[in-house]
Chain A
């Protein structure tokens, strides 16, 4: 996999709508920035190789390199990636739904929130980059207290460049940063953590990386227009859930738990499918292959999560969280494992096929672009 530069990133990914807004390319430099939920290119950088291109999960993930660097193991064919153990999990007795404040609601088992709280508590991380929200509109933020973590509870369905916030924190010199993100965000993070341009004084500021399961994400602009058409105020949506198949609709909850007029609205899944980011079609990763712990839904029980522990560090965190009563784990059934592996395999196959049709597997995709001559008004005689 070739590391190329901002021109190739721009031309092949950003301009072709293949970007899934992970944000890993953004805020590393003055030329690629995250702004109001989008990736913006400022002025023009003419470098032949750049971290932006190296970070982007769509330009090509160096799976060998990531495997070796994160797991100290060679590449695996297993659609679930490398892992040490898989469990079902949910928040422990210390934090219950009843104890939850009037703010955000947990998704499924609430495991992500409690893991982050545990990591802060044990000093594994000094801060965490999470994606909170304002209604349905995602809002990346840096948190340092359990209350702030809880404010970010719940799944986000709209893509937002959270990794840009990580990049900003890293350039400030922050250390031991926790990150929660989607598979593409985790892949971007993993790419950056390998020090792709071999900077001599590179230090990995990641404290813990918690990846989420993900099949697709929505284009924020499109979704907001859709909601406006249905006269739904995006700021009023307190919760969104997509039940497992054979469900044909997503459920939006309007109003928070204190609200007397709280109600649920169904959105047909086929409507949502039209609003999915095109770039999601080429993503082969369902369970966040490149992180310390991956967390997602458990197919048969909405009160629990599937928890994939991938690294030694992840294991330490889970053990601590369980020990402190923040997290409860239980063995996962073989049936659930098989179901998960199949779903992951299917996503991978669909993605590879889509990549092929987009030309992303062609050798040309790995070659530098021919430089364009700069045209200026003063150049004419």
Chain B
């Protein structure tokens, strides 16, 4: 990390994509950065936060870094800095843009002042997400320019240049990265750091349409929209000469690959691996909205076959096809002879008597590349095998038959030893089962999303987006009049509560919906790396700040609210029973216990835990190893030889909850 600040211009360092983005922002001289934790983007704000407090403002940049309560607010915080003349950065993962979208649309229309860049990290293949949404469509929808770095150097260079572009156009610029770039590492040659020398001041007295002096708003809408579109055209022109759009390969390739983002590296690798460099050319686009049409069309004219390599949606594929359809290439045929597109599915060359363009387009729409999931070298290889008629089985590997390996058990993710969520979900499940009315739990986003897995007792029966568990519960809780008598429970985390669960809670209370909200308060935003949030008395960089008391907020809203410790199973279950036995209104139960990985918990133990093997009845009727088989904390081992449970002293953190579960009182706790 220190290299990001102290590295000299011209030095080359191995760094993560996200770190390269940070360096790019520092080279552009940002003053403010705001975001919400979201894998694979979190390292950007985390890294910037570690640069504070700044003890040497003459030589190192002073940056205000904030984990905002949600992505919409983060975007607004960054926009404010831009309006006041300071370069700013907003950072989020793909679903975060969904949250920020309303403001983004209006910001695109109103314009910005100092350079403002929105970094969005997509997660194709959902490696750390529960969707694989496509951010790039936002550039088209919001009508803002977009850049996609294709490697680590570009991650830095594009981020830095994006601020310049933003200021030229007075528009926010979207820089879109993906997990395989953000979390991968490669070499980056550093540029020069900029120490910004600007005083924050928001100028607004000027003429209404003056982008630098007037108030910043969206009306008059049609005029501003036309001006926005004109700026996009300007961007397209700037992009025509951009160094971020590169071509490598023969002048008239047999196949032209058009690719963006990290897919460029995959494409190059596959082309080199199978020695196709003289047949295949690769056009890598880095400025992907608006598309530089001349750059693209000139390349299209040199070939008969085009393959689009991108993830996740066929964004470039469709955009290029639109460009092509509107170009002078259509209806005139191509220079030279050659077969018209030979009826390859989706090739856009339907047989008819018309003069046909001689290009066959391949990609997701032709199903040569699967529509879902992330890109990898294999998908490209498969496509090339068909399109270039290569010999199959290029992949190598083991001779047939040898490759059958042993059946290897999967390595499921689960709650950590000592995780309060395991105890909370155990209690929720017990109570809903005891109640016997087929009650259910609506889930939300966080570590506790793992409540959908067997290790979380498959508690969650719905799981969507931030705050949606409470929203759905608010809806379910009104269905009693239509005969629904199932108790409704929603869970959300402390960070999620502030992010977006408060409005549905207000809705439910006001509309007299009947449900129980269980707030799993583990004192942090755990899944993404334990970032702080407004419920804690520390801010992004560790200063003491006011915290907002969740219990007080819920009470003030008018919900019946109680708090207890999820490690105390008996009290938790009693309170939960009280909640679901109450047929009316919103009940809030805050289960408060710090995360096992939190600073206050790490390296502390409440108990020494041991199993008394004399008392343990193992898999016999009356227990059937409820501790290992059901509770399944990694600290509890089933010893197949003695047929008894055992504590793994290395993994056990001594929370003591398992002792309450043992029907034989065989788990013994000794207070430390």
Cβ of B194 within 8 Å of any chain A Cβ, yes or no, is no
Q: How far is the CB of B624 from chain A (nearest CB, A)?
A: 5
Tell me whether A35 and B453 are in contact in the complex, defined as CB-CB below 8 angstroms, given that A46-B624, A51-B622 are known contacts: no
- The interface-forming segment of B30-38, B106-114, B429-437, B522-530 is B429-437
Using A376-B453, A377-B453 as known contacts, say yes or no to A30 and B623 having CB atoms under 8 A apart.
Answer: yes
A43 to B427, CA, bound (A): 11
- Distance from B534 Cβ to chain A, minimum over Cβ atoms (Å): 32
Collect the chain A residues with CB atoms within 8 Å of residue B410's CB: 378-379
Judge whether A40 and B436 touch: CB under 8 Å: yes
Which of under 10, 10 to 19, 20 to 34, or 35 or more describes the interface residues of A?
Answer: 20 to 34
Whether the Cβ atoms of B630 and A29 lie closer than 8 Å is no
Interface string of B429-470 (1 = CB under 8 A from A): 110011110000000000000001110011000000000000
- Residues from chain A with a CB closer than 8 A to the CB of B622 are 28-29, 51
Contact B429 A43 (CB under 8 A): yes
B626 part of interface (Cβ distance < 8 Å): yes
Closest Cβ of chain B to A33, distance in Å, is 6
CA distance A47 to B626 in the complex (A): 12
CB distance from A8 to the nearest CB of B (A): 14
A50 to B410, CA, bound (A): 30
**Within the assembled complex, what's the spacing in Å between the Cα atoms of A269 and B589?**
45
Number of interface residues of B (CB under 8 A): 24
Give Cα A28 to B621, complex, Å.
8
The reply to whether A51 and B433 contact each other, CB–CB distance below 8 Å, is no
B389 interface residue (CB < 8 Å to A): no
Task: Answer whether residue B663 sits at the interface, using C-beta atoms and an 8 A cutoff.
Answer: yes
**B residues in contact with A35, CB < 8 Å:** 434-436
Q: Provided the pairs A29-B624, A378-B412 are in contact, do residues A43 and B453 lie with their beta carbons within 8 angstroms?
A: no
Within the complex, which residue of A30, A52, A376, A379 is in contact with B626, where a contact is CB–CB below 8 Å? Answer: A30
Residues of B near A41 (CB, < 8 A) are: 433
A47: which of B429, B430, B624 is its contact (CB, 8 Å)?
Answer: B624
- A49 within 8 Å of B by Cβ? yes
Contact call B624/A31, Cβ cutoff below 8 A? yes
Instruction: Give Cα A30 to B454, complex, Å.
Output: 18
Instruction: Determine if A12 is an interface residue (Cβ-Cβ < 8 Å).
Output: no
Judge whether B100 is part of the interface by a CB distance below 8 angstroms: no
Q: In whole angstroms, how far apart are the Cα atoms of A31 and B435 in the complex?
A: 14
- The answer to the question of B661 belonging to the interface, with a C-beta cut-off of 8 Å to chain A, is yes
Q: A376-B453, A376-B454, A378-B453 are in contact. Are A45 and B435 (CB under 8 A)?
A: no
Cβ of A369 < 8 Å from any Cβ of B? no
A33 to B433, CA, bound (A): 9
Q: Which residues of A contact B413 (CB under 8 A)?
A: 378
Closest to A39 in B: B436
Q: How far is the CA of A41 from the CA of B410 in the complex (A)?
A: 29
> How distant is the Cα of A66 from the Cα of B30 in the complex, in angstroms?
85
State how many angstroms separate the Cβ of B607 from the closest Cβ of chain A: 21
Cβ-defined contact, A42 with B429, below 8 A: yes
Tell me the nearest residue of chain B to A374, going by C-beta: B454
Q: Fill in one digit per residue for B616-645: 1 if any A CB lies within 8 Å of its CB, else 0.
A: 000111111010001000000000000000
Q: Is A141 an interface residue (CB 8 A)?
A: no
- B662 → A minimal CB distance (Å): 9
- Within 6-33 of A, Cβ neighbours of B (below 8 Å) are at 28-31, 33
Least CB distance from A37 to B in Å reads 10
Task: Report B-chain residues with C-beta under 8 Å of the C-beta of A36.
Answer: 434-435
Q: Are A42 and B621 in contact (CB under 8 A)?
A: no
Known: A50-B621, A199-B620. 12 other contacts (CB 8 A): A29-B663, A31-B626, A33-B434, A35-B436, A36-B435, A40-B434, A42-B429, A42-B430, A43-B429, A377-B453, A378-B410, A378-B453
A sample of 30 inter-chain contacts (CB < 8 A) reads A28-B621, A28-B622, A29-B622, A29-B623, A29-B663, A30-B623, A30-B626, A30-B661, A31-B626, A35-B434, A35-B435, A35-B436, A38-B436, A40-B433, A40-B435, A43-B429, A43-B433, A45-B624, A46-B624, A47-B619, A47-B624, A49-B621, A50-B621, A199-B620, A374-B454, A377-B452, A377-B453, A378-B413, A378-B453, A379-B410
Chain B residues in the interface with A (C-beta under 8 A): 410, 412-413, 429-430, 433-436, 452-454, 457-458, 619-624, 626, 630, 661, 663
